[in-house]
Amino acid sequence: MKPPLFSYADPESLQETLELLAVRGDTAKVLAGGQSLMPLLNFRLARPEMIVDINRVQELHTLAFSDSAGIRVGATVRQRELERSSALCTANPLLAEALPLIGHFQIRNRGTVCGSLAHADPASELPAVALAVDAEMTVVSRGGRRIVPADDFFVSYLTTSLAADELLADVSFPPWKTQDGWAIEELARRAGDFALAGIVVRLSAERGTCAAARIVAFGLGGRPQRMTATEQAMLGSTAGEAIAEIEQAVRSEVESEGDIHASAEYRSEVAGALAGRAVTRAWERAIATGANA
Amino acid sequence: MRLEASRLIAAPLDEVWDSLDDPELLARCGPGCKSLERLSEDEFLADLELGVAAVKGRYRALVKLSDKRREEDRCRLHVAISGEGTSGFVNGDGEVFLERQSDGTLVSYRIEAGIGGRLAQVGQRLLSGVGKLLAGQFLAKLEAELGSRRAPSEPQATT
Amino acid sequence: MSDRRTVLLTVNGSRVEREVPVRLTLADLLRDSLGLTGTHLGCEQGVCGACTVMLDGEAVRSCLLLAVQAHDKDVTTVEGLSWGGVLTPLQEAFHLHHALQCGFCTPGILVSATAFLRETPDPDEAAVRDALGGNLCRCTGYSGIVRAILDAAQRMNGSTSRSSADA
């Protein structure tokens, strides 16, 4: 199939982009990497009247690493660009582990970090990572800018809190605490397929016991889900302790939808099992940093 | 695909039941419902734009209500939907139950839905979740509509 | 903002200029407008990899790019991998190791593998299999493809093979 008719704009400034969105936002779609939008256009499942291609907007192509401010990723930065940054492993090892899981390298060569966040596919890894690390989205429009925490940004299936005239200009991942443990696990029938279920874990330990935990499940419902009850139950636990209980807790806490690929019950069960693996690996890393032996 | 859920809406049973007879109200509540035309007492023709975010399909659907049973505190009816559109077809067959509660009406539905064509092919893994989302949106809008109809001077029957 | 645009790009080393509808994909520009039908269309949603080409040296899905987005860029298709009719080591290895049958996936795999080997000149088998994840083949079962890629890497490096299968 082929894309439907649309008019095309490729502005070269952010201001021009926001002008276009202010006027045509209701019936326009922003094109960055195109790895999610182009399939929809090819199948004519989306029929925007206008495509606003932001790939020529230099201001959106920033990628900055800073010890104090973390990582700031502009809207047109490719997933591969971030993946290949030499600074990434230390700046955010969770992102470093998550990025190669996204699709295939050919997809990541064009797909953007912000595009994945704005598209909000429930099976995507990046929204779950953003939620696990409390990333902040910079949302801009002709009328101004606002900072949106990840938890408020993701609403439901393919839906974020972006208004029709707004653009996700960049995402900020906070500075990583070197003593933290982390892990991401996902299950897909083939590597690169949409995950049937996935778990992201971030773990802070003090003197060998869990001081803070973040467990985010993805691929199961409309948006990444924080397992807050399980996170609470983990406080004070030690490495390897109560893994079976954590698995059970996640299995009960998570809200799953079924489809022809997998039933809801199966997904919840997988989520539990992945949580066990992810927590175990997160502990190994937390301990390996030496701060918590 | 089975769509099954319950939701308590803050409106009295009688109003919810009567709303099923009001195509204009239903059209306003239905997510993506562009128009709803009554063909006969229990048959409607709907012009629907179903989907989420940028992904939408346009359908013309025939909605048939039948087997309506009305009791003092409970009602039920059978709904059958069959529609066709640009991205394929959509159909549904199932039951809707209304049950009077102290603080409103418990609306439950159990619908076997089928979606075929391009939208289903590409979006299969999102369908039941989005279906539930849209059903939830419909009920939320119905609740809001019925709530706003109640004139402020009328004493609230509940709460 | 009109419905047509003129694009100027380099394809397999040659400058090309075309006036195109803005909704034309790069894949269709290459195939229909330039007659380079080596690039194949399998799914048009980025999954199968048959349409993979190089854009400024990076392997990308040409079905997911608009032709207008290739303006001022450098595109290499399977036709441009070799010069003067001389097969590249990778293409020779494909021939030697029976790494193609119907050939539908082959252009996409050749382009992807070429890009992969540029970045990872000495991969092990696991790395090759991982890199092939983005290209679907219905005929070969991938073994010959994996052997071919490892063999090509070896030939280009002169290093000893790390494959468990015989070259």
Name residue, tokens 């409103």. Answer: B104
Kindly state whether residues A158 and A191 are assigned to the same domain: no
Kindly state whether residues A154 and A188 are assigned to the same domain: no
CB-CB contact of A277 with A223 (8 Å): no
Q: What pLDDT was estimated at residue B54?
A: 80
Name residue, tokens 């089975």. Answer: B2
Kindly state whether residues A188 and A234 are assigned to the same domain: yes
Q: How many CB atoms within 10 Å of residue B88?
A: 17
Report CA Rg, chain A. 19
Residue A184 has pLDDT above 60, yes or no: yes
> If pLDDT is split at 50, 70 and 90, which confidence band does A173 have?
very high
Q: What pLDDT was estimated at residue A181?
A: 96
Q: Give dist(CA A64, CA A146) in Å, integer.
A: 20
CATH of the domain at A271: 3.30.390.50
Q: What pLDDT was estimated at residue A240?
A: 86
* Residue A236, domain member (yes or no): yes
Chain A residue numbers touching B3 (CB-CB < 8 A) = none
Of the three residues A130, A147, A173, the one that is the final residue of a domain is A173
A103 touches chain C (CB under 8 A): yes
What value does the mean pLDDT take over residues A221-234? Answer: 95
Kindly state whether residues A95 and A190 are assigned to the same domain: no
CATH of the domain at A143: 3.30.465.10
**N-term to C-term CA, chain B:** 36
* Residue A114, domain member (yes or no): yes
Q: What pLDDT was estimated at residue B2?
A: 81
A112-122 CB burial, b ≥16 within 10 A, e <16: bbbbbbbbbbb
Interface pTM (ipTM) of the complex? Answer: 0.94
> If pLDDT is split at 50, 70 and 90, which confidence band does A1 have?
low
Alpha helices in chain B (DSSP H): 13-19, 23-29, 118-123, 127-149
Q: What pLDDT was estimated at residue C167?
A: 40
Given a contact as 3+ CB pairs under 8 Å, which chains touch B?
A
Chain A residue numbers touching B133 (CB-CB < 8 A) = 156-157, 222
Residue B99 has pLDDT above 50, yes or no: yes
Kindly state whether residues A111 and A203 are assigned to the same domain: no
> If pLDDT is split at 50, 70 and 90, which confidence band does A127 have?
very high
* Residue A235, domain member (yes or no): yes
Q: Which of A85, A90, A91, A89 is nearest to A108 (CA)?
A: A85
CB-CB contact of B105 with B12 (8 Å): yes
Residue A207 has pLDDT above 80, yes or no: yes
Q: What pLDDT was estimated at residue B157?
A: 47
Chain B residue numbers touching A222 (CB-CB < 8 A) = 129-130, 133
- Specify the range with the lowest mean pLDDT, choosing from A142-156, B57-71, C43-57, C122-136: B57-71
DSSP A59: G
Chain A residue numbers touching C131 (CB-CB < 8 A) = 105
Nearest CA in chain A to C130: A191
> If pLDDT is split at 50, 70 and 90, which confidence band does B22 have?
confident
Report pTM.
0.91
Residue B39 or residue B130, greater confidence = B39
* Residue A239, domain member (yes or no): yes
* Residue A159, domain member (yes or no): yes
Q: Give dist(CA B82, CA A135) in Å, integer.
A: 44
pLDDT tens for each residue of A72-126? 999 999 999 999 999 999 999 999 999 999 999 999 999 999 999 999 999 999 9
Between strands A50-53 and A28-31, the pairing is parallel
Determine the distance in angstroms separating the CA of C134 from the nearest CA of chain A, rounded to an integer.
Answer: 5
pLDDT tens for each residue of A233-271? 999 999 988 999 999 999 999 999 888 888 999 999 999
Residue A31 or residue B7, greater confidence = A31
> If pLDDT is split at 50, 70 and 90, which confidence band does B155 have?
low
Considering CB atoms only, which of C45, C59, C66 is closest to A109? C59
Classified as helix, coil or strand, A81 is helix
Residue B69 has pLDDT above 70, yes or no: yes
A194 touches chain C (CB under 8 A): no
Considering CB atoms only, which of A5, A105, A107 is closest to C23? A5
Q: What pLDDT was estimated at residue C43?
A: 93
Length of chain A as a residue count: 293
Residue B56 or residue B36, greater confidence = B36
Of the three residues A143, A173, A203, the one that is the final residue of a domain is A173
Kindly state whether residues A127 and A212 are assigned to the same domain: no
C110-139 CB burial, b ≥16 within 10 A, e <16: bbbbbbbbeeeeebebebbebbbbbbbbee
Q: Give dist(CA A153, CA A147) in Å, integer.
A: 10
Q: Give dist(CA A120, CA A160) in Å, integer.
A: 7
High-pLDDT (> 90) share of chain A, %: 90
Q: Give dist(CA A103, CA A112) in Å, integer.
A: 12
What value does the mean pLDDT take over residues A186-195? Answer: 90
Classified as helix, coil or strand, C29 is helix
Length of chain B as a residue count: 159
> If pLDDT is split at 50, 70 and 90, which confidence band does A291 have?
low
Please state, rounded to an integer, the average pLDDT across all residues of chain A: 95
A224-249 CB burial, b ≥16 within 10 A, e <16: bbbbeebbebbeebebeeebeebbeb
Spell out the domains of chain C, with CATH numbers in brackets: 4-80 (3.10.20.30), 89-166 (1.10.150.120)
Kindly state whether residues A151 and A230 are assigned to the same domain: no
Kindly state whether residues A46 and A71 are assigned to the same domain: no
Alpha helices in B51-98 (DSSP H): none
Kindly state whether residues A190 and A228 are assigned to the same domain: yes
What value does the mean pLDDT take over residues A45-64? Answer: 96
* Residue A1, domain member (yes or no): no
B8 backbone dihedrals φ, ψ, rounded to 5°: -90, 125
What value does the mean pLDDT take over residues A140-161? Answer: 96
* Residue A78, domain member (yes or no): yes
Helices (H) and strands (E) in chain A, counts: 12, 14
Residue C111 or residue A194, greater confidence = C111
Indicate the number of domains in chain A.
3
Residue A218 has pLDDT above 70, yes or no: yes
Determine the distance in angstroms separating the CA of A119 from the nearest CA of chain B, rounded to an integer.
Answer: 9
Q: What pLDDT was estimated at residue B114?
A: 85
Q: Which of B125, B106, B142, B131 is nearest to B29 (CA)?
A: B142
Kindly state whether residues A208 and A151 are assigned to the same domain: no
What value does the mean pLDDT take over residues A192-217? Answer: 94
Strand ranges (E), B71-118: 74-85, 88-101, 104-116
Kindly state whether residues A140 and A225 are assigned to the same domain: no
Chain B residue numbers touching A261 (CB-CB < 8 A) = 124-125
Flag if A222 and B133 touch (Cβ within 8 Å): yes
- Give the Å distances, CA to CA, from A261 to A186, A197, A220, B81: 15, 11, 12, 25
Q: Which of C106, C48, C103 is nearest to C77 (CA)?
A: C106
What value does the mean pLDDT take over residues A37-59? Answer: 95
* Residue A116, domain member (yes or no): yes
Q: What pLDDT was estimated at residue B137?
A: 86
Q: List Cβ neighbours of A232 (8 Å cut-off, separation of 6 or more).
A: none
Please state, rounded to an integer, the average pLDDT across all residues of chain C: 94
> If pLDDT is split at 50, 70 and 90, which confidence band does B153 have?
very low
pLDDT tens for each residue of C35-66? 999 999 999 999 999 999 999 999 999 999 99
Residue B159 has pLDDT above 70, yes or no: no
CB-CB contact of A22 with A140 (8 Å): no
- Specify the range with the lowest mean pLDDT, choosing from A182-186, B51-55, B152-156, C69-73: B152-156
Q: What's the half-sphere exposure (Cβ side, CA atoms, 13 Å) at A273? A: 10
Residue C158 has pLDDT above 80, yes or no: no
CA C20 to chain centre: 23
Kindly state whether residues A193 and A167 are assigned to the same domain: no
Flag if A7 and C58 touch (Cβ within 8 Å): no
Flag if C133 and A104 touch (Cβ within 8 Å): yes
High-pLDDT (> 90) share of chain B, %: 35
Determine the distance in angstroms separating the CA of B150 from the nearest CA of chain A, rounded to an integer.
Answer: 30
What value does the mean pLDDT take over residues A202-217? Answer: 94
> If pLDDT is split at 50, 70 and 90, which confidence band does A228 have?
very high
Residue C2 or residue A128, greater confidence = A128
Q: Which domain holds residue A40?
A: 7-53
Assigned token pair, C47: 């999954």
Of the three residues A118, A142, A173, the one that is the final residue of a domain is A173
A49 backbone dihedrals φ, ψ, rounded to 5°: -80, -25
Map A239-291 to HEC letters: CCCCHHHHHHHHHHHCCCCCCCCCCHHHHHHHHHHHHHHHHHHHHHHHHHCCC
> If pLDDT is split at 50, 70 and 90, which confidence band does C2 have?
low
- Give the Å distances, CA to CA, from A34 to A141, C7, C64: 21, 19, 6
CATH of the domain at A48: 3.30.43.10
Residue B75 has pLDDT above 80, yes or no: yes
- Hey, which residues does C86 pair with through a beta bridge? C83
Q: What pLDDT was estimated at residue A145?
A: 97
Dihedral over Cα of A140, A145, A147, A151: its sign:
negative
- Helix, strand, coil % in chain A, rounded to nearest 5: 35, 25, 35
pLDDT tens for each residue of C16-33? 999 999 999 999 999 999
Q: Give dist(CA B30, CA B45) in Å, integer.
A: 13
